[in-house]
Amino acid sequence: EEYVERTYEKIGKYDKYTNAFITIRSKEEVLREVKENINKGGKLAGILIAIKDNISTKGIRTTCASKMLEDYIPPYDATVIEKLKKEGAVIVGKTNMDEFAMGSTTETSYFGPTRNPWNLERTPGGSSGGSGAALAAGYVELALGSDTGGSIRAPAAYNATFGLKPSYGTVSRFGLVAYANSLEQIGPMARNAEDLALLFSIIAGPDDKDATTIDLSLNFEFKEKNVKNVRIGILSDILEMSEKPVSGMIKDVIDKLSSEGALIEDTKLGNAEYALPAYYIIAMSEASSNLARYDGVRYGYSKYMEGNWREVYAKNRGEAFGIEVKRRILLGSFILSAGYYEEFYLKALKVRNLIKKSLDELFKKYDILVSPTMPILPPKIGEVINDPVRMYAMDLNTVIANLAAIPALSLPAGFYNDLPIGLQLMGKYLSDIYLINISSYIE
Ligand code: GLN
């Protein structure tokens, strides 16, 4: 009772400033479930968790931070939610995000931006910014996000928390509202490495409802290791592209790791400058196709039913999608149209392959690759949102892992004044647990 009371008091007092939640469940309902679940047991018996609002929750509104789904209540749970419930977790609310997970600052939300608890003038990163802020503000200890090109790691970095973009196929996407299927994964967000490991072990695993999941033989044992003799490659090309306070902080961490016996070497990804355009071409193409389902008829915003199909479609979509979503639908449709497909989409797939290959080579020499998570400090609210190209450029370091399907983790590296800076670790495919172990030591 005290735990639930305390949580609601904090949220009641401070979320009017942070705006981390789109939907907060009623305290009575949550308290009842917590009491029930404590008696039933499970790894998360009675523990409150915040869920990004693009993950389907039975009976709880799931908006994707869009006017299009403002009143949508899913009739089913995502697989990850079923797994959490089996372990006794209780959803406290659904967190704010960029509309349909398109953005890096949680400012494209129909429900207004989330503010960074460390500095309310700054963004908490995105698109899972509500989950990141909910952790940093101390509303919850555990949260779920989704990561298509950095959406778990950006908020982890900017909120001084931990976030893992799992290896592709380790976590079911059933019930995740699709943005770009070939890139995205649901992943754990937490305030320390141990909680991250626990949450990941619960949500991971094969699922008949998602044919891209794999039967993994991951050993979830969480044991703290040291970095002695760990072969660390520093992505120096990426490091040098970062803002000074960021690269300076990351270099300090690297020096510390070196003094603790890690084998540090400067290296380069090669083709790094092509990762970002390739990512955006692929992501927008998949988005334009995925978002075609919001037709103003079957579900979602459906204000206009008069006229022919074209008019109904255009009017409802025109009114219910925000500007960033429209931009991506237009660009994605253009890229996929006859004649341009070879020029853009096919080329992007080739770049994706090249990046995978250079990473394969690097992982023969290194156990982990290190870089800043974000190339810049958390931007001020309003600073990048009207300049899409600048916003896209924030994802320079994070999209690499999504293109290559490998795991990537962000952990706190330190602060520049009151602004958090994140360190990114990338590992080879299925080295997720290893990354978490290493992160616990660096922490
Ligand atoms: N900022 C990137 C984008 O807008 C990544 C978002 C995400 O990971 N969902 O596509």
Q: In this structure, what are the phi and psi dihedrals at residue 408, rounded to the nearest 5 degrees?
A: -145, 140
Q: Rounded CA gap, 14 and 165, in Å?
A: 28
What is the per-residue pLDDT for 339?
A: 86
For residue 220, the model assigns a pLDDT of 66
SS3 at position 233 = strand
The pLDDT value recorded for residue 288 is 97
d(CA 241, CA 293): 39
For Cα atoms 342, 345, 348, give the angle at the middle one, nearest 5 degrees: 115
CA angle 147, 183, 409 (to 5 degrees): 40
Handedness of CA 145, 146, 147, 151 (dihedral sign): negative
Distance 387 CA to ligand 1 centre (A): 15
What's the confidence (pLDDT) of residue 224? 58
Classify 1-443 by CATH class. alpha beta
Query: Taking the domains of the chain in order of start, what are their residue ranges?
Result: 1-443
Give, for all 443 residues of the chain, the pLDDT tens digit.
999 999 999 999 999 999 999 999 999 999 999 999 999 989 999 999 999 999 999 999 999 999 999 999 999 999 999 999 999 999 999 999 999 999 999 999 999 999 999 999 999 999 999 999 999 999 999 999 999 999 999 999 999 999 999 999 999 999 999 999 999 999 999 999 999 999 999 999 999 999 999 987 666 666 656 888 999 999 998 999 999 999 999 999 999 999 999 999 999 998 888 999 999 999 999 999 999 999 999 889 999 999 999 999 999 999 999 999 999 999 999 999 988 888 999 999 999 999 999 999 999 999 999 999 999 999 999 999 999 999 999 999 999 999 999 999 999 999 999 999 999 999 999 999 999 999 998 87
pTM value is: 0.97
Ligand 1 geometric centre to CA of 102 (Å)? 5
Decide if 109 is catalytic: no
Distances (CA, A) of 132 to 69, 128, 275, 412: 22, 6, 25, 12
CA of residue 72 to ligand 1 center, whole Å: 22
How many Å apart are CA 372 and CA 424, to the nearest integer? 5
Task: Look at strands 419-427 and 368-372 and give their pairing.
Answer: antiparallel
The alpha carbon of 134 and the centre of ligand 1 are apart by a number of angstroms equal to 19
Helices (H), 204-243: 236-240
ipTM above threshold 0.95:
yes
Is 242 part of the annotated catalytic residue set? no
**Could you tell me the CA-to-CA distances from 441 to 134, 163, 250, 339, 434 in Å, in that order?**
24, 15, 16, 51, 11
State which of 55, 128, 148, 285 you would mutate to test the pocket of ligand 1, scoring each by most atoms of that ligand within 8 A of its C-beta.
Answer: 148
Catalytic one of 56, 66, 104, 127: 127
Atom nearest to 279 CA in ligand 1: 10
Rg of the chain taking only CA atoms, in angstroms: 21
Phi/psi-derived region of residue 137, left when phi > 0, alpha when psi is between -120 and 50, beta in every other case: alpha
Q: Which of 104, 109, 146, 151 is catalytic?
A: 151
So what's the pLDDT on residue 346?
Answer: 94
Phi, psi of 25 (to 5 degrees): -75, 160
Pocket of ligand 1 (CB under 6 A): 101-104, 127, 147-151, 179, 283, 395
353-359, Cβ contacts within 8 angstroms, sequence gap of 24 or more: 354/271, 354/274, 355/269, 355/271, 355/274, 355/275, 355/278, 355/400, 355/403, 355/404, 356/403, 356/404, 356/405, 358/269, 358/270, 358/271, 359/269, 359/400, 359/404, 359/406, 359/426, 359/428
The token pair that represents 49 in the structure block: 């968790």
Any catalytic annotation for residue 151?
A: yes
C-alpha dihedral, 398 to 165 to 7 to 119, nearest 10°: -10
Element (H, E) at 215: none
